[in-house]
């Protein structure tokens, strides 16, 4: 029996160590989340602050939201943002998906180089991309025509350059997400379809596309979010007088931070949350087969 | 069918870059036959099957299905269906949708599809599973769905690519019997690819033993086991002893001196191209060899006799295996059935004589 006692003590020590390390790990995790989310929570709270000051709490109000909605400049820039995001998402999702299929399914000369070039927009800083695009548009002289649209009675004048710029960086993100999905897809599924009398098009429509869909949706949502969020590229490529929401906010901040900006931020945060929820749900649905573990 | 063959391969070659996967293969597979292509991985059996299905195109040569040259016809225009190694069931479709897929592509009438899916599900004992997803089924059940999905189209030929490879041993044995019964029922030609020789022997009408892109032997399971055409086949199918020696006399009767012994032994069958003085191996199956206490082996004509010492005794339930050392270079495995309980007829270290009928020995090039 005596031989057992030191063993028990040792195991008790080990248990204690384990507990301490668990508690400290939890604490560390909570600290991390606090660091990330405290500023966001503060923005949300102060968007309801009944005071011009952004430092002191002076009671609850929705005044700033009313102020925001009635500001026609903000509404126009919001529609600009949504319009650019929707159009560039549609275009970049199609091109990005095709690029992913080409890269994944075919072997050709210079593929490695093409691969690296395709993913470059993910790696290089936005500002570099923005300057490059600006130079391109200036030198080529294309893209500064505007697309006039009327949405719910609001007239928008969207420069093509902004849409082209957004498409340019979104293709890379769509391609990465779709390709991750494709690389996990079992090629024999397509052979099975062909073996069962489905021609190339039917195989694509009935098997390849449905299997790729979670990746395509995930890529599209990512592209939409990034487009909505973009400042640098829009700012550099839009020319004078065109504002998306982030560009508009930047312009307002130069005149001082007001609670109205907090309200806009909260609105954008809400939109992002909704998009991320959609993206998670679509990924989870697809994940029943094979999940993509990107981003 | 003009020539009476379900599938024919004529001088088929398939190269992947510098590698020749299939090398001038000629095969004639009869209508209604259970035909196996057997060989180690990389022997070209799967590539041959894929060329029949149309997933690969021959570098040269021609594949015929039902007498019709297939040329570069894509898979969806060939009258064959495939059961894939890992089933390849469509994960986003139900069992019903999986099985109906081929018929929908062929624009079969909705009512007929429903009826045929029902019948086929019954045939593979999966009635009532229509709405399950492949993920919700066990390995054996997925296998049956894959079978049903192919068979429901009533192809001229069913191609099976190691379909039981992913199942555990017990289920595999059960499915072997089931597949064989199913084939009798539907009367379709089965072309079965496997690396499992026991499976091929148990199920096939005829087997093509393949290695390095070539067909080494084509025959019934019995022919292949009892009369292997070369050393590779003898080694790959079942268990064989290979006793080295030198071709003494071409005969008849042909004689071989076994390395390390003085007395020559008689042999009846020689591989083509062996000449007197060549180094050869004598191949005998372990169960064809008799074992006797030293000096007590009866002598008959056409009986080969060698002396040795029992080195190892392994009891295996139904039989006992003796490793008998003939000399420093060679030893022979002898298998004795345990007809009398207790086994142990011979002990390790005992001096023994072994003998076999010369008809049971095959002589191959070294």
State pLDDT tens for residues B125-151. Answer: 898 889 999 999 998 899 999 999 999
In chain B, pLDDT over 70 holds for what percent of residues?
98
pLDDT band for A290, please (50, 70, 90 cuts).
very low
Contacts of residue B43, Cβ cutoff 8 Å, sequence gap at least 6: B210, B211, B212, B213
Q: How confident is the model at residue A7 (pLDDT cuts 50, 70, 90)?
A: low
Residue at A55 is within a domain = no
Q: How confident is the model at residue A163 (pLDDT cuts 50, 70, 90)?
A: very high
In this complex, do A196 and B105 lie within 8 Å of one another by their Cβ atoms?
yes
Q: Does A103 touch chain B (CB under 8 A)?
A: no
Considering only alpha carbons, which residue of chain B is nearest residue A189?
Answer: B88
Residue B8: per-residue pLDDT: 94
Instruction: Give A177 to chain B, closest Cα distance, Å.
Output: 20
Residue with tokens 């050393």: B231
Looking at the fold, whether A151 and A92 belong to one and the same domain comes out as yes
Q: Which residues of A touch B80 (CB under 8 A)?
A: 195
Residues of A in contact with B53 (CB under 8 A): 191, 195
Check residue A252 and give its pLDDT. 86
Is B16 an interface residue toward A (CB < 8 Å)? no
Residue B34 Ramachandran class (φ > 0 left, ψ -120 to 50 alpha, else beta)? beta
User: Is the sign of the CA dihedral B195, B201, B204, B210 positive or negative?
Assistant: positive
* Residue (of B82, B335, B42, B116) closest to B188 by Cα position: B82
In this model, does residue B18 exceed pLDDT 80?
Answer: yes
**Predicted confidence (pLDDT) per residue in B180-189, tens digit:** 998 988 889 9
- Its domain, for residue A215, covers 65-286
Give the DSSP letter string of B262-323: SS-EEESEE-TT--TT-EEEEEE-GGG-EEEETT-----TTEEEEEEEEEEEEE-SSEEEEE
Report the chain A residue with the minimal C-alpha distance to residue B52.
Answer: A195
Interface test with B, best of A184, A189, A195, A288 (most B CBs within 10 A): A195
3-state secondary structure of B165: coil
A286 pLDDT band (50/70/90 cuts)?
low
CB contact under 8 A, A198 and B76: yes
Write down the pLDDT at residue B236. Answer: 93
CB-CB contact of A60 with A194 (8 Å): no
The residue behind tokens 């000449």 is B275
For residue B8, is it left (φ>0), alpha (ψ between -120 and 50) or beta?
Answer: beta
What is the spatial distance between Cα A231 and Cα A167, in angstroms, rounded to a whole number?
14
Same domain as A18, residue A159: no
Whole-angstrom Cα distance, residue B100 to residue B82?
Answer: 15
Cα–Cα distance, B211 to A274 (Å, whole number) = 59
Q: Is the pLDDT of residue A203 over 90?
A: yes
Residues A17 and A75 in one domain: no
B318-354 tens-digit pLDDT: 888 999 998 888 889 999 888 776 555 788 888 888 8
Most trustworthy range by pLDDT among A106-115, B66-75, B250-259: B66-75
- CATH number of the domain within which A113 lies: 1.10.3720.10
Q: Is A237 within 8 Å of A161 (Cβ atoms)?
A: yes
CB contact under 8 A, B88 and A189: yes
Minimal-distance CA residue of chain A relative to B53: A195
Coil, strand or helix: which one is A167?
Answer: helix
The lowest-confidence range among A159-163, B206-210, B217-221 is A159-163
Higher pLDDT pick, A152 / B213 = B213
Nearest to B84 among A192, A198, A207 (CB): A192
Which pLDDT value is given to residue A291?
Answer: 38
**Same domain, yes or no, for A166 and A203?**
yes
Interface residue of B86, B92, B97 to substitute, partner A, most A CBs within 10 Å: B92
Percent composition of chain B: helix, strand, coil (DSSP 3-state, to 5): 25, 35, 40
If asked whether residues A245 and A159 sit together in one domain, one would say yes
Do residues A136 and A261 share a domain?
A: yes
B134 touches chain A (CB under 8 A): no
d(CA B228, CA B219): 10
Across A133-153, average pLDDT: 84
Within an 8 Å CB–CB cutoff, is residue B136 touching chain A?
no
CB pairs under 8 A between A and B: 64
Q: State the pLDDT at residue A288.
A: 46
pLDDT of residue B13: 94
Query: Phi and psi for A190 in degrees, rounded to 5?
Result: -70, -35
Asked if residue A22 belongs to a domain, the reply is: yes
Same domain, A25 and A123: no
| Residue A240: inside a domain | yes
Cis peptide before B252 (omega within 30 of 0): yes
* 3-state secondary structure at position B159: strand
A56 vs B: CB within 8 A: no
Query: CB distance B81–A195 less than 8 Å?
Result: yes
Instruction: Find chain B residues with C-beta within 8 A of A191's C-beta.
Output: 53, 55, 75, 82, 84, 88
Residue-wise pLDDT for A54-85, tens only, equals 677 888 888 888 888 888 888 888 889 999 99
Those residues with Cβ within 8 angstroms of residue A185's Cβ, 6 or more apart along the chain or in another chain: A208, A211, A212, A290
Q: Which of A181, A186, A192 to mutate to test the interface with B (most CBs of B within 10 A)?
A: A192
Q: Give the Cα separation of A243 and A249 in Å (integer).
A: 9
Q: Tokens in use for A174? A: 């769509």
Question: With 60 as the cut, is the pLDDT of residue A1 above it?
Answer: no
pLDDT tens across A22-35, in order?
A: 999 999 999 999 99
Strand partners for A26: none
Q: What's the CA gap between B93 and B101, in Å, rounded?
A: 9
Residues A192 and A242 in one domain: yes
How many domains does the structure of chain A reveal?
2
- Closest Cβ opposite residue B88 in set A188, A200, A206: A188
Residue B23 has pLDDT above 80, yes or no: yes
Whether residue A295 lies inside any domain: the answer is no
The residues near A245 (Cβ < 8 Å, ≥ 6 apart) are A74, A77, A78, A80, A81, A228, A264, A268
B162 three-class SS: coil
pLDDT over 90 (residue A108): no
A194 and A112 housed in the same domain: yes
The reported pLDDT for the residue numbered B249 is 79
Q: Are B101 and A202 in contact (CB < 8 Å)? A: no
- Residues A4 and A105 placed together within one structural domain of the fold: no
Q: Would A238 be classed as within a structural domain?
A: yes
pLDDT surpasses 90 at B157:
yes
Instruction: Give the integer Cα–Cα distance in Å for A189 and A193.
Output: 6
pLDDT reading at A295 higher than 70: no
For residue A290, the chain B residue with the least C-alpha distance is B91
- Domain assignment present for residue A108? The answer is yes
| Whether residue A147 is found in the same domain as residue A269 | yes
Distance CA B168, CA B128 (A): 25
Q: Are strands B290-293 and B351-357 parallel, antiparallel or unpaired?
A: antiparallel
Whether A199 sits inside 8 A of B88 (CB atoms) is no
Q: What is the 3 state secondary structure string of B28-75?
A: EEECCCEEEEECCCCCCHHHHHHHHHCCCCCCEEEEEECCEECCCCCH
For residue A206, list chain B residues with Cβ-Cβ distance below 8 A.
Answer: 101
Q: What pLDDT, on a 0 to 100 scale, did the predictor assign at position B260? A: 77
Q: Which of A197, A206, A288 faces B106 most closely, judged by CB atoms?
A: A197
> Cβ(A280)–Cβ(A263) under 8 Å?
no
The answer as to whether A80 is a domain residue is: yes
A210/B153 CB distance under 8 A: no
ipTM score for this prediction: 0.82
Interchain pair A289, B53: CB under 8 A: no
Least-confidence region, from A157-161, B210-214, B245-249, B301-305 = B301-305
Structural domains of chain B, with CATH = 5-234 (3.40.50.300), 239-365 (2.40.50.140)
As a whole number of angstroms, the distance between CA B66 and CA B267 comes to 43
Average of per-residue pLDDT values in chain B: 89
Could you tell me if residue A253 is inside a domain? yes
Q: Contact at 8 Å (CB) between B224 and B285?
A: no
Quick check: B91 and A193 CB within 8 A?
Answer: no
**In terms of domains, do A199 and A158 share one?**
yes
Confirm if B354 and B305 have CB atoms less than 8 A apart. Answer: yes
Chain B contact for A209 (CB, 8 A cutoff): no
* Span B166-194, average pLDDT: 89
């Amino acid at each position: 029996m005596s031989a057992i006692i030191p063993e028990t003590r040792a195991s008790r020590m080990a248990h204690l160590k384990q507990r301490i390390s668990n508690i400290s790990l939890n604490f560390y995790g909570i600290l991390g989340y606090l660091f990330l989310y405290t500023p966001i929570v503060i923005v949300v709270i102060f968007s309801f602050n009944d005071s011009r000051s952004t430092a002191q709490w002076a009671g609850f109000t929705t005044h700033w939201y009313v102020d925001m909605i009635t500001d026609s400049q903000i509404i126009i820039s919001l529609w600009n943002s949504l319009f650019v995001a929707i159009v560039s998402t549609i275009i970049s999702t199609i091109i990005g998906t095709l690029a992913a299929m080409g890269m994944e399914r075919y072997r050709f000369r210079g593929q490695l180089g093409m691969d690296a070039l395709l993913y470059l927009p993910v790696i290089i800083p936005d500002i570099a991309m923005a300057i490059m695009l600006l130079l391109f548009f200036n030198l080529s002289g294309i893209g500064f025509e505007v697309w006039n649209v009327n949405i719910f009675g609001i007239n928008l004048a969207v420069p093509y350059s902004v849409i082209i710029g957004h498409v340019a960086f979104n293709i890379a993100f769509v391609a990465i997400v779709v390709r991750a999905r494709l690389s996990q897809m079992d090629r024999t599924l397509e052979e099975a379809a062909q073996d069962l009398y489905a021609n190339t098009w039917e195989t694509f429509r009935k098997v390849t596309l449905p299997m790729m869909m979670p990746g395509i949706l995930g890529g599209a949502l990512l592209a939409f979010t990034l487009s909505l969020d973009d400042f640098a590229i829009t700012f550099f490529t839009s020319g004078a007088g065109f504002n998306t929401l982030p560009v508009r906010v930047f312009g307002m901040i130069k005149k001082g931070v007001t609670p109205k900006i907090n309200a806009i931020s909260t609105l954008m945060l809400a939109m992002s949350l909704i998009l991320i929820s959609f993206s998670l749900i679509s990924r989870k649905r697809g994940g029943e087969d094979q999940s993509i573990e990107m981003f | 069918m003009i020539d009476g063959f379900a599938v024919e391969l004529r001088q088929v070659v398939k190269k992947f870059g510098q590698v020749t996967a299939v090398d001038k293969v000629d095969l004639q597979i009869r209508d209604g036959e259970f035909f196996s292509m057997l060989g180690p991985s990389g022997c070209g059996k799967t590539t041959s099957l894929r060329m029949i299905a149309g997933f690969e195109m021959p570098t040269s040569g021609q594949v015929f299905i039902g007498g019709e040259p297939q040329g570069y016809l894509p898979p969806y225009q060939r009258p064959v269906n495939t059961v894939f190694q890992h089933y390849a069931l469509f994960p986003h479709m139900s069992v019903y949708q999986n099985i109906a897929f081929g018929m929908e592509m062929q624009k079969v009438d909705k009512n007929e599809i429903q009826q045929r899916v029902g019948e086929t599900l019954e045939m593979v004992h999966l009635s009532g599973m229509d709405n399950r997803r492949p993920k919700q089924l066990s390995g054996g059940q997925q296998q049956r769905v894959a079978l049903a999905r192919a068979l429901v189209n009533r192809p001229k030929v069913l191609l099976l690519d190691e379909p039981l490879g992913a199942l555990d041993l017990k289920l595999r044995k059960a499915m072997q019997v089931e597949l064989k019964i199913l084939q009798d029922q539907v009367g379709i030609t089965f072309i079965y690819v496997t690396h499992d020789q026991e499976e091929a022997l148990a199920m096939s009408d005829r087997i093509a033993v393949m290695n390095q892109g070539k067909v080494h032997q084509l025959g019934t399971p019995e022919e292949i086991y009892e009369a292997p055409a070369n050393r590779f086949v003898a080694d790959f199918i079942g268990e064989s002893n290979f006793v080295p020696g030198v071709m003494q006399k071409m005969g008849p009767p042909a004689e071989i001196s076994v390395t390390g012994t003085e007395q020559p032994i008689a042999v009846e069958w020689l591989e083509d191209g062996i000449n007197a003085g060549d180094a050869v191996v004598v191949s005998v199956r372990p169960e064809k060899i008799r074992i006797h206490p030293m000096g007590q082996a009866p002598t008959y004509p056409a009986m080969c006799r060698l002396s040795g010492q029992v080195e190892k005794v392994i009891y295996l339930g139904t039989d006992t295996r003796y490793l008998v050392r003939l000399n420093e270079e060679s030893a022979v495995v002898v298998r004795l059935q345990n007809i009398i309980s207790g086994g142990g007829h011979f002990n390790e270290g005992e001096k023994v004589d072994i003998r076999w009928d010369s008809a049971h020995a095959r002589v191959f090039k070294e």
